[in-house]
Amino acid sequence: MRIPLPLLDVVLTLVTAFAIGAVVMWISGYDPIMSYRSMLFTPLLDYTYFFSALAFSAPIVLTGLTFAVGLRAGLFNIGAEGQVYMGALGAVVAAYITKSSLALPLALFIGLTLACVWSLVPALLKIWRGVNEVITTIMMNWIAYWVVIMAVSTVFTNPLQPEESIKTPEPARLTPLVAGTDLTAAVPLSYIIALFVYIFVKYSVWGYRISISGQNPIVAKSYGIEPMRSIMLSFLIGALTAGVAGVMQVVAKPPSYSLMRNLANVYGLGFDGITAAMLGRGHPIGVAIAALFLGVLQEGARHMQIEAGTPFEFVRIIQGVIILLLAIQMLKKT
Amino acid sequence: MTELLLLLIIQALLASVPILLASLGEILMERSGVVNIGLEGIMLLGAFVAPLAVDYLRYRVGMWLPDLVWPIIAMSAAIAIGASVGLIHGYISTYLAGDQIISGVAINLFAAGAVAYGIQAYWGVAGYKQVPDWAKADPMWVTVFTFIVAGIMWYVLFKSRVGIIIRACGEDPDSAYNMGIDVYKVRLLSTIIGSALASLAGAYLSTAYLSVVTKEISAGRGFIALANVVFSNWNPLLAIVGAFIFGFFDALSYWLQTVGVARYEITRMIPYIATLLIVAGVIGRAKPPRAVGKVFRRE
């Protein structure tokens, strides 16, 4: 059996990245073997921890899709981070408006609307003024950061627990599918959305238009496809998936069901999505698999910090190295 | 009130320095044809490594060195780390024909992780470390140095032979190559120097301007610098003007906090909103080097 080259690439990348990571750990005085053991094996050997890894992977699948769909349209949409914040804010606003089970659909509605509004700014600036989306999405991320922090520390603050926002009302919560874990319906939902996005980009007319515009806007134009519409559409799809991720981080995250005042439970998901999208080579199914891997890393990092004392942030170093190696490997294809 | 206004102007000047330094670095790189969106990460690394290096060395080399030396060592360490990252990014972008944007994204991600990890690993605190007085440089020094660099870079890029070579690599690398210029080497060197400047911008933040290292110390300034490069039309002298405008809004956000007119969350949004507006307003006339971000291959 021949191993497909892209898969070999990814495996080689991961091995190299972990080797470099080991050197970093060793230099900074931590035990790489013990760290890796608790990071990689603990989440895989206990079902509670594995379900927790799955729960970690769910929002990463969605933010990964944001970036992957952007890539298809030839965009570097790094706006998922801010759109996740806005989605989460939407869920909090819904909880503020009503205490009934209506809060759930309302959370999705407000959260997705806010996320779309957030992506509309870079989309329109790109279309009307040709502004580079990397700069605008980052600026929108920072604006979202301060908007949401302000909202959570003022109107939506929880008087009983000032460190977090008001909680999603009980009837509107997604509860664990397996008791004692944090595996909620958000996990299957995220993977189903990935499947839908895959079908959309692969088999729908609009998905095809997005790909053509991304590969060559001039060719697209000559086929009668308006590249600007594809750009707008891919921004909006990205905002929807990132928005769902944000909403779910509030309505489907036991035990708190709230948004932390320092945004701890939504921070960094956009960046993880970039890694997932790169590692999954921009393919929605690949993104889902990569997100699962990152979910295991996230869960593993908690155990690494407890068992080996190695700081949690190490995971992000590994992610950076992985992407750097992926940047190099592109050369063999072209 | 006049005192407060004067303070605002001085603060704007000081706030513009990191943006200007990083912009100058990016202008050099992009003029040679390499785009580096990892500015943010390089700044962050510089901000972390500068105090780290002096902390480490002071303990080991001894206290006998005069105090004047430490800030210089800190800045040099930042320059060294910036140059190393520039070497990696430049090598990927030139000899390895890698994707420059992906490499830049990787630098940002890596730096965000490495600095958060490093602060925890070295000082044992979660993401926030005060820089001791003896490691601090006078911000005015760096400010003067930065303006001199801007002048030199303008002169080199537009008035010297070296500048023509650098710009040729960014505009039309094929012709440059046919004229006998080693495009790879020019691009690599420009990227190394440019990244070193961005890293120095970070060192300025931690050891001169804010006297603290945090895991988010660059706070989007790297991307604001990218916006400034576009604003300045890839011209080092115009970059001074742009950096002052961006620096003004950065300083304004802190100044409004001191005056106490609005919640700090609102004032902290100002630099980013201003960047969006400025970029949206001026982008039409911007003309990037033609071959920027494109891989060059020898025929």
Q: What is the mean pLDDT of residues B24-51?
A: 95
* Nearest CA distance, A176 vs chain B (angstrom): 31
The verdict on residue A207 lying in a domain is yes
pLDDT values of chain A reduced to their tens digit, one per residue, 334 residues: 556 667 777 888 889 999 999 999 999 889 899 899 999 888 888 888 999 999 999 999 999 999 999 999 989 999 999 999 999 999 999 999 998 999 999 999 999 999 999 999 999 999 988 888 988 999 999 999 999 999 999 999 988 888 999 999 989 888 888 888 889 999 999 999 999 999 999 899 898 888 888 888 888 888 888 888 899 999 999 999 999 999 999 999 888 899 999 999 999 999 999 999 988 888 899 999 999 999 999 999 999 988 888 888 899 899 899 889 888 864 454 3
Structural domain count, chain A: 1
pLDDT band at B299 (very low <50, low <70, confident <90, very high): low
pTM: 0.90
Domain of A249 in residue numbering reads as 67-267
**Probe site for chain A from B88, B105, B250 (most A CB atoms < 10 A):** B105
CA dihedral A74, A80, A82, A88 (to 10 degrees): 150
SS3 A165: strand
Interchain pair A139, B273: CB under 8 A: yes
User: Closest Cα partner for A237 from A276, A211, A265, A262?
Assistant: A211
Q: Considering the domain boundaries, does residue A2 fall inside one?
A: no
Contacts of A101 (CB under 8 A, 6+ apart): A169, A171, A172
Q: How many residues does chain B have?
A: 299
Average pLDDT for chain B = 90
Range B2-285 classified under CATH 1.10.3470: yes
Predicted pLDDT at B129? 85
Q: Is residue A17 part of a domain?
A: no
- One-letter amino acid identity for B39? L
Question: Are A129 and B268 a contacting pair at CB < 8 A?
Answer: no
Query: Does a structural domain hold residue A284?
Result: no
A187, part of any domain: yes
Query: Within an 8 Å CB–CB cutoff, is residue B76 touching chain A?
Result: no
pLDDT the model gives residue B285? 64
Q: Which residue of B has its CA nearest to A144?
A: B269
Task: Judge whether A51 and A178 are in contact, CB under 8 Å.
Answer: yes
What are the tens digits of pLDDT across the range B150-161?
Answer: 999 999 999 999
In-domain check, residue A286: no
> Among B96, B117, B265, whose Cβ lies nearest the Cβ of A311?
B117
Provide CB contacts within 8 A for B140, sequence distance 6+: none
Say yes or no to pLDDT of B227 above 80.
yes
Query: What pLDDT, on a 0 to 100 scale, did the predictor assign at position A276?
Result: 93
Residue B281: band (very low, low, confident or very high) from pLDDT cuts 50, 70, 90: confident
- Judge whether A282 and A74 are in contact, CB under 8 Å: no
Q: Where is B130: in which H helix or E strand?
A: strand B128-130
Contact A4, A317 (CB under 8 A): no
Do A150 and B101 make contact, defined as CB atoms within 8 angstroms? Answer: no
Q: φ, ψ for residue A158 (rounded to 5)?
A: -95, 115
The CA R_g of chain B, rounded to the nearest whole Å, is: 19
CB A87 within 8 A of CB A62: no
Within 244-273 of B, beta carbons closer than 8 Å to A belong to 263, 265-266, 268-269, 272-273
Q: Is residue A168 part of a domain?
A: yes
Residues B117, A314: C-beta atoms closer than 8 Å: yes
Q: Report angle CA A206, A208, A209 to the nearest 5 degrees.
A: 65
pLDDT of residue A252: 92
Average pLDDT on B185-200 reads 96
Out of A136, A154, A326, whose CB is closest to B102?
Answer: A326
